[in-house]
């Protein structure tokens, strides 16, 4: 009814940003670069694009808003489409990797920063956009950092900027209250608009329960559950937000909370008579969106809401009504003090709040880094460097980075690109490199996929690439008996594929489920996440489409005529991409990597090959997991002959040559 809509609109008028609507509209009109900052929850992400839309700033193009996280892009687009009274995908839409929910009508488009980077590849001046908003710049995600550099470069050269455009592009960079001066200086001294905030004090309590060495997740999950229940039974009304690191921990914590909350006797235990129940809600990246909606709804009267979330709830998504924070401390790679402050701040949006940290003050003062290390300084740069090269940025060393990565990492990326034939010795992108950059996959995996395509056996590699692109296919229950049963079922699935290794297992799960009449029941029976598998199906279709567009993939890397069996063909294709990840068993269960570092590694217990090490000699693996020891995951036995000719490539690269061409 009429009243409902009014209520909705009023809500957005109460946000701090609303007072500054006209000023912001004008500021964007007047400047090609603008930095906007304000407390989380002030309305930047949901309101500013609407203001620019109302001011007609979209012209005949789109307003694009990037988010480092896909859930944020989707959730916010949903919310804004409601506020603008249109169905999602029409005027307001979103695009994230493997999921495009936009139409011809879309003018306000939320997307991941990775998606915009892809668009820049095809269209360097972003001619479809009138305004680009880079949101959450303080998170310092790799893609946002690169976009900042690219847009700075384009807009600062007038010929480049106006080529193919009727009106100049506007760029707005939004950030929580951090590092805004640095951003402004980087963008040529552009104006910074600060939305005045209103926050309430948050008191902090540290506990010594968890020391810096307690990185075992079961330890801090237990502690977090205990603290959350204490808050529930002893604190006044107000919702709780618990921070943990990943999906499996969150699910574990929710299960434990659920079990314990059931047994609370509200007649005696809860001091504040207004609270009579606990509503437990998980929040993490790969959750179904209908479940996510619930997070934002107020709990029923008398019920306290407890959201157990990843770091996404620190700045990307704001949940109203939170009064208590329980902070577990860990985050990957490492929680910084500034992030911890952000987390605590979530409790003080509408009234005073409390933050319970399950680590000590000493840890906070002595062990936590002050600021988050930008992703660009701690991640593999291969995809980024290839993207830059394909964009014609040849000098990848002197590119305007907001924080320059160490030169040796750039060189390392060039080396990897050279090894998988994406660039040549002179640092120039090859034909293969141009094809590879179109796949949203790690370069080695793309290399293997294209090899398979050139041999006509892409059907073997496409499902594997898709399965490796989604999270958590296999369910490993916490209960030891159940876990044994699940491991056994998984292993059986792998064996049925003819030869048994972790890659064929992925293929086998994919194919068996696809062929099943009742896929969701099949998954349940085999301890597989149906939702994850469903997205793997969709990813596979999309990878196939990219491949089809590239038709006639014929590579100049002839394999000797192939007359082995299918399993061998499959594994040899993998080798062309994964020869950089080769290990050889040295003694007992220990393998030694062949990448020049000679790291000592173990097969991860989740592997089908775990406990069969004695029968293995050479293996390739998909990735490494570093805990107290180094594990290799997703493993496959190979024969030395298959990589013999490839291995010298690991050492022949002339680093000096690559680095000098990088500077040309
Ligand atoms: P900022 O970007 O400045 O952090 P937002 O625009 O994200 O602020 O949030 C403004 C308000 O909109 C907050 O009160 C938040 O709770 C609300 N909000 C955002 N997304 C949703 C959603 N999906 N459902 C309900 N409320 C939402
Ligand atoms: Mg925001």
Confidence category of residue 333, pLDDT binned at 50, 70, 90: low
Ligand nearest to the CA of 295: 1
CA dist., res. 353 & res. 539, Å (int): 42
Q: Sign of dihedral through CA atoms 227, 233, 234, 236?
A: positive
Ligand in closest contact with the CA of 342: 1
pLDDT tens figures, 145-192:
999 999 998 887 777 777 778 788 999 999 986 678 999 999 999 999
Distance 24 CA to ligand 1 centre (A): 18
**d(Cα 53, Cα 530) in Å, to the nearest integer?**
39
Its pTM stands at: 0.76
Give the bridge partners for 243, in sequence order.
309, 327
Residue 475: which pLDDT band, with cuts at 50, 70 and 90? Answer: confident
Question: Pocket of ligand 1, candidates 17, 36, 41: which has the most ligand atoms within 8 Å of its Cβ, to mutate?
Answer: 41
Residue of minimum CA distance from atom 17 in ligand 1: 318
**Residue whose token pair is 């929040």:** 283
How high is the pLDDT of residue 487? 84
Q: Which atom of ligand 1 is nearest to the CA of 317?
A: 7
- Ligand 1 atom having least distance to the Cα of 79: 23
- 338 within 8 A of 371, measured Cβ to Cβ: yes
Q: What is the pLDDT of residues 295-312, one digit of tens each?
A: 999 999 889 999 999 888
For ligand 1, atom 22, the nearest C-alpha belongs to 79
Please list every protein residue whose CB sits less than 6 Å from any atom of ligand 1: 15, 38, 40-47, 75-76, 78-79, 296, 318, 320
The question of ipTM being above 0.95 is answered as: yes
Whole-angstrom distance, CA of residue 631 vs CA of residue 624: 6
- Residue 289 burial class via C-beta count within 10 angstroms: exposed 0-12, middle 13-18, buried 19 and up: exposed
Quote the ligand 1 centre to 173 CA distance (angstroms): 18
What separation in Å is there between the alpha carbon of 619 and the centre of ligand 2? 45
Ligand that lies nearest to the alpha carbon of residue 307, given by its number in the listed order: 1
Which ligand has an atom closest to residue 82 CA?
1
* Residue 645 in this model has a pLDDT that exceeds 80: yes
**Ligand 1 mutation pick, 7, 16, 43, 297, max ligand atoms within 8 A of CB:** 43
Answer for the pair 401, 376: CB distance below 8 angstroms, yes or no.
Answer: yes
Name the least confident of 248-262, 368-382, 500-514. 368-382
Could you tell me which residues are beta bridge partners of residue 637?
A: 619
- Output the 3-class SS for 150-217: HHHHHHHCHHHHHCCCCCCCEEEEEECCCCHHHHHHHCCCCCEEEECCCCCCEEEEEEEEECCCCCCH
């Amino acid at each position: 009814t009429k009243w409902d809509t009014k209520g909705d609109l009023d809500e957005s008028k109460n946000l701090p940003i609303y007072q500054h609507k006209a000023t912001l509209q004008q500021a964007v009109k007047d400047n090609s670069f603008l930095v906007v900052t304000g407390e989380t929850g002030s309305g930047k992400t949901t309101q500013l694009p609407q203001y620019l839309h109302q001011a007609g700033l979209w012209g005949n193009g789109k307003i694009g808003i990037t988010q480092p996280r896909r859930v944020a892009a989707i959730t916010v687009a949903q919310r804004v489409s409601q506020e603008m009274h249109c169905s999602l995908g029409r005027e307001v839409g979103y695009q994230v990797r493997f999921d495009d929910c936009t139409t011809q009508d879309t003018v306000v488009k939320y997307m991941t920063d990775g998606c915009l980077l892809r668009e820049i590849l095809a269209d360097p001046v972003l001619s479809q956009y009138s305004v680009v908003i880079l949101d959450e710049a303080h998170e310092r995600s790799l893609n946002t950092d690169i976009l900042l550099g690219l847009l700075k470069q384009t807009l600062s050269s007038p010929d480049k900027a106006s080529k193919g455009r009727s009106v100049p592009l506007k760029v707005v960079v939004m950030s929580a209250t951090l590092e805004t001066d640095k951003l402004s200086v980087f963008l040529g001294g552009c104006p910074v608009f600060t939305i005045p905030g209103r926050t309430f004090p948050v008191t902090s309590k540290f506990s010594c329960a968890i020391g810096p060495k307690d990185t075992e997740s079961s330890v801090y999950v237990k502690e977090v559950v205990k603290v959350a229940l204490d808050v529930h039974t002893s604190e006044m009304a107000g919702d709780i937000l618990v921070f943990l690191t990943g999906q499996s921990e969150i699910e574990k914590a929710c299960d434990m909370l659920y079990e314990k909350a059931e047994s609370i006797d509200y007649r005696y235990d809860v001091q504040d008579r207004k609270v009579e129940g606990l509503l437990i809600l998980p929040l993490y990246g790969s959750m179904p969106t209908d479940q996510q909606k619930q997070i934002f709804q107020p709990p029923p009267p008398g019920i306290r809401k407890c959201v157990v979330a990843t770091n996404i709830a620190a700045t990307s998504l704001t949940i109203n009504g939170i009064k208590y924070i329980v902070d577990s401390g860990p985050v990957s790679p490492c929680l910084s003090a500034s992030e911890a402050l952000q987390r605590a701040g979530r409790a003080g949006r509408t009234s005073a709040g409390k933050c319970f940290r399950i680590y000590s003050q000493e840890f906070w003062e002595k062990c936590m880094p002050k600021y988050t290390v930008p992703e660009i300084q701690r991640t593999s740069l291969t995809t980024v460097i290839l993207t830059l090269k394909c964009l014609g940025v040849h000098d990848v060393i002197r590119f305007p980075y907001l924080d320059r990565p160490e030169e040796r990492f750039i060189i390392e990326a060039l080396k990897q690109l050279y090894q998988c034939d994406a660039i040549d010795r002179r640092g120039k992108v090859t034909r293969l490199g141009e094809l590879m950059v179109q796949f949203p996959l790690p370069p080695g995996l793309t290399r293997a996929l294209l090899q398979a395509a050139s041999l006509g056996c892409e059907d073997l590699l496409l499902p594997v690439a898709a399965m490796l692109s989604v999270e958590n296919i296999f369910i490993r229950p916490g209960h030891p008996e159940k876990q044994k049963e699940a491991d056994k079922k998984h292993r059986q699935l792998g064996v049925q594929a003819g030869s048994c290794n972790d890659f064929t297992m992925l293929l086998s799960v994919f194919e068996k489920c696809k062929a099943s009449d009742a896929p969701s029941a099949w998954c349940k029976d085999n301890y597989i996440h149906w939702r994850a598998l469903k997205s793997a199906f969709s990813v596979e279709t999309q990878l196939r489409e990219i491949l089809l567009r590239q038709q006639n993939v014929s590579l100049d890397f002839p394999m000797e005529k192939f007359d082995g069996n299918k399993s061998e063909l499959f594994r040899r294709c993998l080798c062309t991409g994964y020869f950089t990840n080769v290990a050889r068993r040295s003694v007992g269960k220990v393998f030694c990597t062949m990448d020049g570092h000679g790291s000592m590694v173990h097969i991860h217990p989740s592997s089908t090959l775990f406990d069969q090490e004695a029968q293995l000699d050479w293996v390739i693996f998909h990735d490494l997991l570093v805990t107290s020891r180094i594990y290799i995951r997703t493993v496959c036995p190979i024969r030395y002959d298959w990589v013999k000719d490839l291995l010298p490539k690991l050492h022949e690269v002339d680093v000096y040559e690559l680095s000098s061409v990088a500077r040309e």
